[in-house]
Chains A and B, each alone.
Chain A
Amino acid sequence: MFFTYLRRELRRRRKAALVVASGLALGIALVIVVSSVSSGMKQAQGKVLESLYGLGTDMTVTKAATPPEEGDGDERPRFRFDAQDGDSDEEQSTDRVMVQGFQTLASSTVTEVGKQDGVSEAVGGLSLNVVKVDGQFTRGEFQQDQNSGGSEQQGGPGGGTGQPQGRVQGGGADFEVNSYTVYGTDVTNLDLGPLTSSKITKGRTFKSTETDAKVAVADSSYAKEKELALGDTVTISGTKFEIVGIATPDSGDAAANLYIPLKQAQTLADSKDKVTTVYVKATDSQQIDAVKSAIQKNISGTTVTTSADLADTVSGSLSTASNLASNVGKWLSIAVLVAAFLVAGLLTMSAVSRRVREFGTLKALGWKSGRVTRQVVGEAVVNGLLGGVLGIALGLAGAYAVTAVSPTLQAQLGSTGGGGAMGGGPSGMGGGMGGPGRQTASKALEVALTAPISLSTVGLAVGLAVAGGLIAGAFGGWRASRLRPADALRRVE
């Protein structure tokens, strides 16, 4: 009887059922769109992060930032040129190979990190910044001031010592500054690290035997700019490397301009057994936070950065949209859902009120209160499920629409970390150069927003539909349970 009655009610009161269902459908559709857009945002952020980290990296380990100490000045790049006599126009060239961020970890840290619980793989890498300066320098000529020692002399403190005064004239420099990045990759383990986010589009990647080989993989846009082709050689700080492959990043920018074997990079930077970053893959992606704290606790002097940490530094329209989706979108869909639940509940209740005599009659016939209530709740749950089906259809349509349009979003990765911006200072080279370390710390990318629908989103929608039905049923059922058999005689129609 339950199902016959239920079926008959729903068929005959289609309109009322549809009203309740539509309200729920709207709320559920909104939840689907919002949560799929949110996961699209996460994917977009993931892409941004992936271009930094490479695929499969759950976190990175770097040296904990230490306040710069006195006398650390020699860590700064310094260029020494011999100023030539005025008539010489000999070209001079100097390469300065610097470790990005000036902070390194011992290679042994990589092994140590690898031994931590929950770490599946750990691979070290060395990021370098190479600044190449080419040019001519002419020595200035000193000209003695004719009036020195004269009566108009103002005489500063300690002035008037009779030393010759004058100024340097005619000194000049004509030079070009070239800065590029080199990433030393562990050729014995290419599973992790920045190179994983690029595809080898020409040539090949490194072989695991090439630890000592003078080979390099060039980023495609850098190769284009410098007109580098397979088989060409590049000279980094006097060492020639043969280009064996061209790598094109999957999205966004490449992590480095040139990739060379780690050992070579260490030699170039005079950083034997040093790495800048350890790329870590966790055995369980749910345990990332636990692994992070384990590493930080067990290996002192390290900073562990997870994707989530890095995601916090993403700014730009991506992050605005992402905040919008997670805040406004979330609250809006909660508000609509609550409203839909309430409306469904009240409509169900008023439907019960219109059927007071019907339910009273059933009670008069000896139907237990529970049986009548069950009937009301059953109807409401079916209405809820109907709303769920409608809502899922509507939500899927909405999410597909977003994916079809796929609006472009900008992302900037915030400049936390890195540090060590150079240039500017009085002792530096007049012209400001992009500081090393900023290379990874600040990055702007464009990503297309999609709204992927996961099974769990659909599951959530179904859950909400059932919940909506049950809430409506609870309202209606409560009303029905309070009816008395004597209501069969009531004259309300």
Chain B
Amino acid sequence: MYELRGVTKQYRRGKETVHALAGVDLTIPDGDRLVIQGPTGGGKSTLLQMLGGLDRPTSGSVELDGTDLAKLSEAKLTKVRSESIGFVFQSFNLIPTLNAQENVETALVPLGVKAAERRERAAEALKSVGLGERLTHLPSEMSGGQQQRVAIARALVKQPKVLLADEPTGNLDESMRDEIMDVLETMWKEHGLTFIMVTHDSAIAKKAPRVATIRKGTITVTERA
């Protein structure tokens, strides 16, 4: 469970100070499915970085199950990321020189999983996203939808508590969007994850039971009955 209190994040850009987050309070219970939307530059990605321990807030606290990520050392934060948080990025972020299986394995490397088990679990994860036949394909040999599915397998292979996705369908064409949304939906249900997704797609937002909207660094949460 996430507890965010008074989270601000400021970036310096030359002489200017950008208030990417201007005091965010937010509670996300375990197993929740939260959709974050808002205009470009509103602070969606910044919030996701705070939730994923990729960066620290300028002020405020980001508690994950009682631990304030804002106060953790870099080493501890790295450990939290490696164990508890799965990321899916807009532009897939696969390692271009590694094949599908090896890309998924990279998520198990920091956990010290032995090579043989790593390979097996990676193959298993790829099978669950429907890519059991493409283990040795390089990212460049796959479609955008397939690449994003590899990325989802990579995010989930370590059985994280939280899945964070930043516009996971942003770089995909129409036909693949639903496919990826279906995969994510299925994964959320099967793994009992806390699933937080940033999206531009209003169609997706409309269907979601809980939607947070971020504008100029301030958040408003809308619950649908």
Q: Which residues of A contact B (CB under 8 A)?
A: 1, 4-5, 8-9, 11-13, 357-358, 361-369, 371, 484-486, 488-489, 491, 493
Contacts and interface: CB of A to CB of B under 8 A. Distances in A.
A363 B54 CA distance: 9
Contacts of A11: 97
16 contacts: A1-B109, A9-B97, A12-B97, A13-B97, A362-B106, A364-B87, A365-B82, A365-B109, A366-B81, A366-B107, A367-B109, A368-B78, A369-B74, A369-B78, A489-B166, A493-B91
A9 B82 CA distance: 23
B37 to A, nearest CB: 17
Interface string B8-45: 00000000000000000000000000000000000001
Interface string B137-172: 000000000000000001000000000001000000
Contacts of A9: 97
Interface of B: 45, 49, 52-55, 74-75, 78-79, 81-83, 87, 89, 91, 93, 95-98, 102, 105-107, 109-111, 115, 118, 154, 166
B49 to A, nearest CB: 5
Contacts of B54: 364, 484-486, 488-489
A364 B45 CA distance: 14
A5 B82 CA distance: 19
Contacts of A369: 74, 78
A46 B163 CA distance: 75
A366 B86 CA distance: 10
Contacts of B111: 366
A493 B98 CA distance: 18
Contacts of B109: 1, 365, 367, 371
Given A8-B102, A363-B78, A486-B54, A368 B97 contact: no
A363 B78 CA distance: 7
Contacts of B49: 486, 489
Given A484-B55, A489-B49, A366 B97 contact: no
Given A364-B54, A366-B83, A486-B55, A371 B110 contact: yes
B93 A488 contact: yes
Given A364-B52, A489-B54, A358 B78 contact: no
- Most chain A CB within 10 A, of B78, B83, B118, is at B78
A361 B79 CA distance: 15
B110 A366 contact: yes
A1 to B, nearest CB: 5
Contacts of A4: 98, 102
A102 B166 CA distance: 98
Given A365-B110, A488-B89, A489-B49, 6 more contacts: A4-B98, A5-B98, A8-B98, A358-B93, A365-B82, A365-B109
Nearest to A357: B93
A292 B196 CA distance: 83
A364 B55 CA distance: 10
A358 B154 contact: no
Contacts of B89: 361, 488-489
Q: Which 10 A-B pairs have the closest CB atoms?
A: A366-B82, A366-B110, A8-B97, A361-B93, A12-B97, A366-B81, A486-B54, A485-B54, A486-B55, A1-B109
- Most chain B CB within 10 A, of A365, A369, A371, is at A365
Contacts of B79: 366
A5 B78 CA distance: 21
Contacts of B110: 365-368, 371
Contacts of A488: 54, 87, 89, 93
